[in-house]
Each structure stands twice: as structure tokens, then as C-alpha cells.
Structure 1
């Protein structure tokens, strides 16, 4: 199938994965600041068909953004201008065949002590260090977090 024959939505779908250091003030509390980031992200992302997942752990943000290339790049530009993100680094930015995080305009998750097994399972047994992630390992980590989020949401919905 040529590019011309592919649907526009497939041709233009992009995924960008980055990490940055958190630069959150003590007041309001960091968890409230992350909640504010997520609320604004949901509102903004819904308007431009961007979905994704934000992982908050040990002073880091790791995030996947998916959607039309222009919208993803505009969203990332807003992130790098946000003073709550320090020294953002793109791990990967490329066309994507499908969305991995289609269910969320933005979902944020902090890893709890119970979730630490994810880090161990992904062979990151030393201190959590996103600078060692590559495209494959970062996506694997975020997908594992997505799966936990799905199970947690399903569990909460069935109670």
C-alpha cells in the first residue's frame, strides 16, 4: 500500500517519548501540581487528538504522547517551556502504526512501593535512571504502567 493509499490518520500518527527532571515547588504539594498538569493536559489534548501516559517517579517525568505529528510537537513544545520540567530529553519521536495509549487524553501514574516490581522486572534494579532508557525499554515501561492502570481502573469499577 502506498502512502497515498493509506488513511490520513495512519499516515500522520506520531509517538514522542521523553523524560525530564521534575522541578516542582513545595507549595502547593507536588501531587497537587501533577494533578493540575493532568487536568490541563486532558483539556488541551482532547482538543487536538493527542493521547498519552505520564509516569511520575523518583523526581522524574517520563511521558508518551501520541497523535497527529503537528499536535504532538506543539504539545511537546509547551512541555519544554513549562518550568516544572527540567532538561527534557526526547527518547524517540517517530511515526507510529497505532496508539498504545488510545484510552487516555492523558493518564498520570506514580509508581507506588507495590509497583516497584515493574522496575525490577524491566531490569532497572539500580536507582531509577531514565537516562538509561532507549526507545524499546521506555515504551515497555510505559506499557507496563498502562496495564497496571487498566487493571487498577477495572478493579475499582467492579467494587
Structure 2
């Protein structure tokens, strides 16, 4: 029997200046590349969202692997003030095809911020309902540039179309 899957979300504050809009900051790109290289080895998937100097991240996978990954992340000097927002057992992954999806700030969070009358992205203020709503928005958001370097997660049984085939249509 396989180990139960959990979903952990947390918020933190970047210790470096984050990009305003329209691009992936170089430090964030390094985080994504490292995550996308390491997470499949541990059956970890999830999403990373960076906006207004704040990180929001969701990790999904076996409990021991998620806990170990979170502990490594907590020691990373590129952010501070980590706060676990939720941790729950799940029967199905939301990010099964993503070792680490990147959610572009302006595309994913704008509608949620308006709906909850928030002027800036601050995941520390998210209620459990907002977390679930935001995760669902992250699942459905598409940004081909944010998919570069994204291998399929090891746990995925799906044969998803590679990012480069979604960007360029081959005859």
C-alpha cells in the first residue's frame, strides 16, 4: 500500500526584490529549475505563485516527502516568515502533471484579489476558502513561458503534451 498523499500550502516573504509584472525574476527562475529537477525524484508536485514580494506555494505528495521538502524550503535564505496555511490528506492531486507549476502573478490572482477586496497579494491573509479557490485558479491558469523546463511529475500517469508542442504547432 502506498503512503497517503497530503497537500501543504504555505506563505512566506521574499528576501530579494521581486519583479513587478510581465516576467519571472531570476531568483524565482532558479527556484523553479531546482524544484523541477528535484521534485519528480520524490513524487512531489505543486504550484509556486510569487506576487508583491510574497510567495504562495502548494506541495503535494507522500507525507514524509512533503515534510522533508518543506523543511529544506524553510531553510532557504531567499525567503522568511514561513507560515503553513493548510495541510490536509487528499485522495487526488490537483497538480498531477506538474513537478512545480509557476503561476503568473497578474493572471491568476487579479480576480481573487478583486472578489475579496484586497489591494495587494498577501497569502498570509487567505482564509481556507480563499486557499481552495486560489489553488483551483492556479490549476486552470495557462502561461506557456512559465512552463519552460517543466518535466512531467514522476507520479503522473497522464501523457500530457510537452510545453514546446503547445507553443509551436508542428504540422
Superposition TM-score, scaled by structure 2 size: 0.75
In structure 1, how many angstroms separate the alpha carbons of the residues matched to 2:141 and 2:127? 21
Greater helix share, structure number: 1
The one of 85, 89, 96 aligned to 1:95: 89
Cα pair distance change 1:140/1:68, threshold 3 Å:
same
2:141 match: secondary structure: helix
Alignment map for 1:35-46 (pairs within 5 Å): 35-46=29-40
Q: CA 1:158 to 1:120, structure 2 compared with 1: closer, same or farther past 3 Å? A: farther
Tell me the residue number matched to 1:50.
44
Offset, 1:115: 5.6
Listed as ranges, the matches of 1:1-159 within 5 Å are 7-8=1-2, 12-24=4-16, 31-112=25-106, 116-121=110-115, 123-149=116-142, 157=167
Q: Which runs of 5+ in 1 are unaligned?
A: 1-6
Q: Does the aligned pair in 2 maintain the 1:15–1:67 contact within 8 Å?
A: yes
Task: Confirm or deny: 8 A CA contact 2:7 2:61 kept in the other structure.
Answer: yes
Three-state SS of the structure 2 residue aligned to 1:8 is: coil
Which stretch shows the higher mean deviation, 72-81 or 132-141? 132-141
Q: Let me know the Cα RMSD of the aligned residues.
A: 2.8
Asked if the contact 1:24/1:30 (under 8 Å) is kept, the reply is no
The two structures have a TM-score, normalised by structure 1, of 0.80
Structure 2 gaps, min length 5: 148-162
Cα offset for 1:135? Answer: 2.8
